[in-house]
Chain A
Amino acid sequence: MLGLLLLIAPASRTQAQDTAAGPLQTLLQAQADLVANASRGTVQQVLDALIASDLDGVPTLLTRWQARALYQRSSDGLFVYVETEGANPLTLIDIDTGAEVGTASSREVAQLRPNRGVQTVIASALVEFQLSSEDPADRLAALAAISRAPEDFHLPILQDLMATETDDDVLEVAEVLLPRLIIAFDRDDADRVAAIESLAGNVSIAARAALNPLLVTTTEVAASLPDGANIARVLEPGAGLSREAAYAMLVAAELAPPLIPRAQIRETLAAQVVDGRVGGLPVAQLNTEDARDRAYAALVAEGLAPPAPTDAEIDAAVSSHVFYEVYREPSQAVTTAARATLDGIETRVGLFRVLDLSLDGLSLASIYFLAAIGLAITFGVMGVINMAHGEFIMIGAYTGYVVQTLVPDYTLSIAIAIPLAFMVTFAGGVAMERLVIRWLYHRPLETLLATFGISIALQQIVRQIFGTQARPLTPPEWLAGSVSLNDVVSISSIRIAIFLLGVVFFVALWLTLNRTRLGLEVRAVTQNPRMAASMGINPDRINMLTFGLGSGIAGIAGVAIGLFAQVVPDLGSNYIVQSFMTVVVGGVGNIFGTLIGAGMIGGLQKYIEWLNPTNTLAAQTYMILFVILFIQFRPRGIIALRGRAAGD
C-alpha cells in the first residue's frame, strides 16, 4: 500500500506541472520564490508582471493573496486558493480555472502570509489595476472600495486617475473622494485647507464625515498650557466644567489622590471591625454618615486607611492646574478652516432639516386628513359621533388585504381594493345609519354609546375571522422606494402617494359638496332639515347617503393607511381620538377646517418629535395638551361657522 503511494506521488507531480499550468500559474511559477517569500522591496516585481499580463484572474489573485488565502502545495510548488481556512482536509482550488484540484491536509500545503507592508503594496496594486480597467463600472467599484476604507497610498493613485479620467460618472465620484483623501492624508496643510474650503456648503454625509474627525478633541489637564498644542478651548472649573469633574480628571491623570466614595468608606469600616467596634465607635451607631466619617477619621489617624482629600485640598489642586480641550489634529490652520466650513455646512443642514421636517409633517398631516375626512362629514356635517369610524378604516384595510390574497399583482390589487373598500364600507355605513343612527338624531350623546357598541362588536368579529396577528398589505413596487433631494431631505414614495390621495380626496369632496346637486341637498339638510324637507328634499335619503359617503371614504383611507401601518383588528382605534381632535380643532362642519386641523396637528406632532426625538409618546402627549389648550381659545375650531348654522 505504502509502496503504491510512493509510486503514484512522482507521477501526480509531473501531471500537475504539465496540465494545470494556466497562464496565471505559469506567471507565478516563473517567480515562485519571490511570490512565496515576498518582501516589501521585491514584491513590486511580481506585481508589475501580473498587471502587465492583464489577465482576468489578476484582481481575484491579488485579493486572495492579500487576504492570505493563497497557498502553495509543498509537494510540487503549485499555487492554489483555499476558501475555508482551518477546514480539514483543505479544499484546493485552481487559480486559473476556479475548479477544485484536490484536497490536502494543512501540513501538505503552506499558507502564504504576506506581512503588513506587502499587503499594503498588494492592495495598492489591486486598486491601481482596477482603476486602470477599461470598464468604467470596475473603476467605480474601485472608488467605492477606497471610499469604504481610505488609506494613505490611495491619494497618489486617485490623483493620477483624475489626470487621465474621461468618464463623467467616475470623475464625479472621484471629485467627491479626492478632498476626503487630501484632508485625511496630504502632508501639506495648505492643500488640506484648500480641500476643506472646497467642501463649503456641501451637505452630504461624506463631507461631514471628512470634516468631523478633524475637530475631535480630548480633554486634558496639566500644570500649565503646553506650547505648540492645538488648543480648542480652556475650561474654567466651576463654569464649563464642574469642580467634581475637574478633580476626577486630576485623579485620572494621577496628579491628585483619589476621593474616597461613601461605599468605600463603608467597606473599609466593615473590614476593620474588631469586637463589634471600629474606629472607637460601636458598629450599631454607624447608621449615619456623620458617625461613619468620625470612625473613618479615627482609622486614618491610626494609619489603617488612606486619608480622604479635604475640600481645601481639592480646591487647591483644581486651582493649580489648567484644564483644556486639545484637537487631535495638530495644525491650527486646518482646524480653524474645518470649524468655519463645518459651521457653514451645519447652517445649511439645519435649513434642509426644517424642509425635511415640514415634509414629514405634511405626510403625517395627510394621514390624519385621510383618517379624519370621513369623520368630518359624519361628525362635522351631520353631528353624529361615530365611534365606529375607526372600524370602517380597519375594514377598508382588511378589504385591501383580502383583495391582495386573491389578486397577486400588487398594482392591480390596489386598484381593485380602493373602489371595493369604498363599496364595502359605504354599504356598512348605510346599513348602520338605517338600523341604528337614524333613531338617535335627537340624542347625539347616545349615538356615541351605540356606535361604541358597534365598534367593539366589529373589532371582535374581525378578530374572529382574521386572527390577532398583523396581516400584510404590500404596496406595489413602484411605491416602495423613496425620493431624496440630498443626504438630509428624503421622503418615501408611499407618503407622496398618500399626500396626493389626500389632495384628490379634498378636491373631490369639495366639488361634491359645493358643485353637485347632492352636495347642495346635503348642505341644505345640515342647515335646516325641516326647511329642506319642505323644499322637496328627502332628508332621510340625504342623511343615509351622507353617512354612507363618510364611511366609504374611511374605507379608502383604510387601504392607504394599511399600506404603511400594520393591518390589525384595532388599527382603527389608534386613529379615532386623533381624528376627532382633527375635526374639532379644524372647526366642525367644514372640510377646509379639517384640512387645516390635520395640517396643524400633523406638523405640530412632527415638530415636537424633533425637539425630543427619542420619545414619540411624549410628542403625542404634548400635542394633545396643546389641542386641549387651543380649544380654550377657539372652542369652535379654527374655522368656526357663524350665525344660525353654528346652532347647538
Chain B
Amino acid sequence: MENSIFVRNRSVPIFIGVLTLLAIAVTVLSEGYGTGALSVSFTKVLGMTLCLCLAALAMDLVWGYCGILSLGHFAFFGLGGYMIGMWLMTARTEQVVRANLQNAVIPPTEAEISAATASQIFSVVGATDWPWMWAASDSLILSLLLVVLVPGLLALVFGWLAFRSRVTGVYLSILTQAMTLALSLYLFQNDTGLRGNNGLSGLQNIPGLETVGQDRISIWFFWGSALALGLAYIGAAWMVSGKFGSIVRGIRDDEQRVRFLGYRVEVYKLFIFTFTGMLCGIAGALYYPQAGIINPDEIAPIASIYLAVWVAIGGRGRLYGAVIGAAVVSLLSTYFTGGRAPNLNLGLFTIDWVDWWPVLLGLGFVLVTLFAPKGLGGLVDVIVRKDRR
C-alpha cells in the first residue's frame, strides 16, 4: 500500500470522496430515486458538468502536464458525441419506423425498414441514402468502439504529422485550431452525411429504455459520468505520478533537454495527445445523450478555447484544478446566462446578467492570467501551507 496512488497523491482519495458524496447527494435529492428536490433538467446539467470536467481533465494532462496547448480537444469531444449520436438516432428512428409499418398489409422487409429509416433521418438535408460513415450506426458495440477510436485516430494522425515535423508552441496551437475549424466546417456541410447544421437530435431518447423515464435516465447518466470522471482521475493521477509523469513534465519545461537525455519526446507527446483525445471522445459520448442534441456549432474553435480557459482558471498542472475550473466556470455560465439570475440594480444602471456575464467572464480570464497564474487551485496551496504551519 506504500506505493499506492491513493497514498502518493493525496488529492485522489479526497477527490474520489467528494465525488462519491456528490453522487449520493444528487441521488437522494433526485426526482428518480429520492426526494425530488433536484429537477430532472438540473440533474442533467450536473451530469453534463461532470463530462465537461472530464474533458478539462484531459486538457490538463495535455496542456498542464505536457505543455501542448491544444485548441482541438473539444473537437474530439464533439466527435465522441457524433459517434454515439449516430447509433442513438438510428436505433430510435428505426423503432419508430417499425412501429409505423407494423400494421402494413404486407410485412416490411429489412431493406425497406432500413430505407425508410434513412429517408426519415436524412430528409432534412434532402437525401435518402445512408452515407458511408453511418455504416456502424446499427451496432451499439461498434459505435461505442468508434467513440474511442475515431477521436483517437484523428488525434494520432494529426499528432504524428505535427510532432514529427516539430511544430511546437503557438504554432501547434494555431494548427490544432485550424483542424478544429476544418472539422466544424466539414460537419456544417449538408452533403457530408452528418445532417449539416441540423446536427443530430433526439439523443435523450435511449432506445430500449422508453419505459424508464427521463427522471431515472438522467440519474443513470449522472452516475455514468461520475464513474468515468472518477476512473479517469485515478488513471491520470497514476500516469502523472510515476516516471512517465516526470518525463512528460520534463517535456513541458524543457523539451530539448529531455530529447538530449535520450527520450523519444515525440512518442510521449503523441501518446498523451491521443490518449486525451480518446478521453474527450468518451466525455462527449456521455455528454450529448444528456444534452439531447449535437450540431457543428458545438465544435467551433471557440469551444476548445473555453476548455483551455477553464483549465487555466482552475489551475494548470494539478488535476483537481482542471475539474474545479470546469465545474465553477460552466456552472456559473449556466446560471448567469440561463436568465434566472436576478438583475443587479446599481441605481443609475441595471446590470442584466445575461448580457454582462460574457464581459465579466472575459475580464475574469484577463485577471486570472495576470494575477493568479496558478488559478483557483492556487488557493489550495495557501490552505495546505497554513495546515502545515
Contacts and interface: CB of A to CB of B under 8 A. Distances in A.
B94 to A, nearest CB: 15
Given A448-B170, A633-B165, A648-B169, A577 B181 contact: yes
A584 B171 contact: yes
Given A292-B106, A621-B186, A453 B366 contact: yes
A620 B185 contact: yes
Interface in B81-100: none
A623 to B, nearest CB: 8
A464 B362 CA distance: 15
A161 interface: no
Contacts of A464: 355-356, 359
Contact of A286 (B107, B305, B370): B107
Contacts of A581: 174, 178
Interface string A618-648: 1011001101110111010000000000001
A577 B177 contact: yes
Given A440-B369, A621-B182, A648-B169, A460 B108 contact: no
A598 to B, nearest CB: 15
A573 interface: yes
B105 A445 contact: no
A648 to B, nearest CB: 7
Given A286-B106, A460-B359, A627-B178, A445 B370 contact: no
Contacts of B366: 436, 450, 453-454, 457
A628 B178 contact: yes
Interface in A105-136: none
Interface of A is mostly: helix
B259 interface: no
Contacts of B189: 615, 617-618, 621
Interface in B104-126: 104-111
Interface size class of B (residues with CB under 8 A): 35 or more
Contacts of B170: 379, 383, 385, 444-445, 448
A624 B370 contact: no
Contact of B359 (A387, A439, A461, A621): A461
B308 interface: yes
B166 A635 contact: yes
A73 to B, nearest CB: 58
Interface in B225-282: none
A631 B165 contact: yes
Interface stretch (A3-11, A211-219, A265-273): A265-273
Nearest to B71: A448
Nearest to B108: A287
B106 A457 contact: no
Most buried by B among A269, A444, A448: A448
B115 to A, nearest CB: 10
Contact of A287 (B109, B179, B185): B109
Nearest to B312: A449
Contacts of B178: 577, 580-581, 624, 627-628
B169 A632 contact: no
Given A449-B312, A452-B305, A584-B174, A457 B362 contact: yes
Contact of B309 (A440, A444, A452, A617): A452
A452 B306 CA distance: 9
Contacts of B111: 289
A288 B109 contact: yes
Contact of A452 (B105, B162, B359, B365): B365
A316 interface: no
Contact of A628 (B104, B168, B182, B362): B182
A628 B160 CA distance: 12
B21 interface: no
Nearest to B178: A624
B175 A628 contact: yes
Contacts of A436: 366, 369-370
Contact of B362 (A286, A379, A455, A632): A455
A534 B317 CA distance: 37
B301 interface: yes
A624 B182 contact: yes
B29 interface: no
A453 B169 CA distance: 20
Given A287-B108, A449-B312, A627-B178, A460 B365 contact: no
A286 to B, nearest CB: 5
B44 to A, nearest CB: 26
B165 A624 contact: no
B191 interface: yes
Given A449-B308, A580-B174, A624 B181 contact: yes
Contacts of A600: none
A151 interface: no
Interface in A370-424: 379, 383, 385, 387
Contacts of B161: 628-629, 632
A509 B33 CA distance: 68
B25 interface: no
Interface string B163-206: 01111111101110111011001101101000000000000000
B136 interface: no
Contacts of A444: 169-170
A459 interface: yes
Interface in B336-389: 355-356, 358-366, 369-370, 373
A193 interface: no
Contacts of B186: 617-618, 621
B69 interface: yes
A83 interface: no
Interface string A559-599: 00000000000000100010011001000000000000000
A574 to B, nearest CB: 11
A286 B305 CA distance: 56
Best-buried of B111, B165, B356, B359 by chain A (most CB within 10 Å): B359
A283 interface: yes
B331 interface: no
A178 interface: no
Nearest to A623: B182
A21 interface: no
B189 to A, nearest CB: 5
Interface in A444-496: 444-446, 448-450, 452-461, 463-464
B329 to A, nearest CB: 12
B150 interface: no
Contacts of A459: 358
Given A577-B178, A581-B178, A631-B165, A456 B109 contact: no
B308 A456 contact: no
B165 A453 contact: no
B28 interface: no
A284 interface: yes
A546 to B, nearest CB: 17
Among A439, A445, A463, A648, the one with the most B-chain Cβ atoms within 10 Å of its Cβ is A445
Nearest to B166: A635
CB-CB nearest 5 A-B residue pairs: A453-B365, A457-B362, A624-B182, A270-B105, A460-B358
Interface of A: 266, 269-270, 273, 283-284, 286-289, 292, 379, 383, 385, 387, 436, 439-440, 443-446, 448-450, 452-461, 463-464, 573, 577, 580-581, 584, 615, 617-618, 620-621, 624-625, 627-629, 631-633, 635, 648
22 contacts: A288-B110, A385-B173, A440-B369, A444-B169, A448-B69, A448-B170, A449-B365, A452-B305, A454-B363, A456-B362, A457-B359, A457-B363, A460-B358, A577-B174, A577-B181, A580-B174, A618-B186, A621-B186, A624-B179, A624-B185, A631-B175, A635-B167
